[in-house]
């Protein structure tokens, strides 16, 4: 069975973009592939974090994964730092990547611009991401559009390592959904919806109160025209609402556009669809929140399952580069 791996950072509250671009597909993939999903807490540390908030968000993120339908008896769900092989293989990947290719990463440029403090780890971040994926001999990596470049680098690093040291890693492929791979900020529809958005009005949290979600969608920035058309360049706000509605209902955004003649009804339907989509996730989350020990047990079991795959792969890579066996 082909292996799937993906990760989500617990660096802020998970939002609709994370769900439509990634998490939702995890739940579908688990019945078709051998799936490994990871809360990447080490990646979150690449930018300053409040320790208490990081710990809380890591548990919350795990709970959101379960609430979104991941079944730990079918897939593996764990926390990155619980499997030390990630940090160790990351070092070998840093030694495989060049400064030039790391410098070309657009996410590094975006995240480091105008920051007072930029950690070295923010720069080498894609090497850790490559390690995450390669440790599990992953074939397929479901991600949103913004991770494509990191996936390309992962493929390059795997190929370079295999070429230098002999066949060691599987070269993975990104699986980017056709609709929902790039959900934009509701207030600034030329920027992607993000955990670190400047205004919370542009982001829909997965655990947000339904009334607040509906309000944000009704107030989403559109444009001064009246025509409903799917055109991400000329009409980013309207196109984003069509993409969200399309992703939520399984319909094509271009076809959806033909059914609306005004923005008001589009916003109303979009709000209803998102609230209905998130309702069961929120209900399940509330149940899980009542049993924190249950989530911790799932994560402990997940880490043990993950380590059983990661440890032999790390050993293979260590020996390939000439490190003495332990
Ligand atoms: P992160 O935590 O920023 O995002 C998690 C997933 O959500 C997707 N996503 C979006 N999709 C659509 N619209 C958006 N506005 C949007 N924002 C985020 C992301 O593409 C991602 O799939 N580097 C990764 C985490 C990571 C990882 C990995 C992913 C670490 N190791 C190994 C895959 C495999 C990240 O920061 O994702």
Q: What is the pLDDT of residues 301-319, one digit of tens each?
A: 999 999 999 999 999 999 9
Considering the entire predicted model, what is its pTM? 0.97
Q: What is the pLDDT of residue 152?
A: 98
Nearest CA to ligand 1 atom 7: 18
- What are the CA-CA distances from residue 41 to residues 31, 83, 240 (Å)? 26, 11, 29
Atom of ligand 1 nearest to the CA of 128: 31
- In the chain (326 residues long), the average pLDDT of successive 10-residue segments reads 97 95 97 98 97 97 98 98 98 98 97 95 98 98 98 98 98 96 97 88 97 98 95 97 97 97 97 98 97 96 98 98 95
Atom of ligand 1 nearest to the CA of 150: 23
d(CA 45, CA 121): 8
Catalytic residues: 111, 192, 195
> Does the beta carbon of 172 sit less than 6 angstroms from any atom of ligand 1?
no
Distance 175 CA to ligand 1 centre (A): 12
> Does the beta carbon of 240 sit less than 6 angstroms from any atom of ligand 1?
no
Which of 143, 183, 239 for mutating ligand 1's site (highest number of atoms within 8 Å of CB)?
A: 143
Count CA atoms within 13 Å of residue 124 on its CB side. 17
Distance 9 CA to ligand 1 centre (A): 7
Q: What is the pLDDT of residue 198?
A: 76
Q: Is-contact 61 298, C-beta < 8 A?
A: no
> Does the beta carbon of 80 sit less than 6 angstroms from any atom of ligand 1?
no
Q: What is the pLDDT of residue 196?
A: 81
Distance 157 CA to ligand 1 centre (A): 19
DSSP per residue, 71-109: -TTTSEEEEGGGSTHHHHHHHHHHTTS-HHHHHT-HHHH
**pLDDT digits 0-9 by tens, 25-48:** 999 999 999 999 999 999 999 999
> Does the beta carbon of 176 sit less than 6 angstroms from any atom of ligand 1?
no
d(CA 109, CA 111): 6
Atom of ligand 1 nearest to the CA of 5: 34
């Amino acid at each position: 069975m082909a292996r799937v791996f993906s990760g989500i950072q617990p660096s802020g509250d998970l939002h609709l973009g994370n769900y439509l671009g990634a998490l939702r597909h995890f739940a579908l993939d688990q019945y078709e592939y051998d799936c490994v999903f990871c809360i990447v807490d080490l990646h979150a540390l690449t930018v300053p974090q409040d320790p208490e908030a990081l710990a809380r968000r890591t548990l919350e993120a795990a709970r959101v994964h379960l609430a979104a339908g991941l079944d730990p008896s079918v897939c593996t769900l764990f926390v990155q730092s619980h499997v030390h092989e990630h940090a160790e293989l990351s070092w070998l990947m840093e030694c495989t990547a060049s400064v030039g290719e790391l410098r070309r990463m657009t996410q590094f440029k975006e995240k480091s611009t105008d920051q007072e403090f930029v950690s070295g780890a923010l720069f080498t971040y894609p090497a850790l991401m490559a390690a995450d994926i390669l440790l599990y001999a992953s074939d397929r990596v479901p991600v949103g559009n913004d991770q494509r470049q990191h996936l390309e680098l992962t493929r390059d690093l795997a190929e370079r390592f295999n070429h230098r040291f002999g066949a060691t890693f599987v070269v993975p492929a990104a699986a980017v959904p056709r609709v929902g791979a790039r959900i934009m900020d509701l207030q600034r529809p030329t920027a992607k919806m993000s955990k670190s958005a400047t205004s919370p009005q542009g982001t829909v949290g997965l655990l947000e109160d339904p009334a607040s979600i509906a309000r944000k969608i009704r107030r989403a920035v559109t444009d001064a025209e009246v025509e409903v058309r799917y055109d991400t360049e000329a009409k980013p706000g309207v196109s984003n609402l069509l993409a969200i509605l399309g992703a939520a209902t399984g319909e094509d955004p271009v076809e959806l556009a033909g059914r609306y003649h005004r923005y008001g009804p589009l916003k109303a339907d979009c709000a209803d669809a998102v609230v209905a989509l998130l309702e069961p996730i929120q209900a399940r989350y509330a149940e899980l929140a009542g049993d924190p020990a249950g989530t911790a047990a799932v994560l402990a079991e997940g880490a043990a399952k993950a380590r059983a795959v990661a440890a032999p792969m790390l050993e293979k890579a260590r020996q390939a580069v000439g490190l003495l066996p332990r």
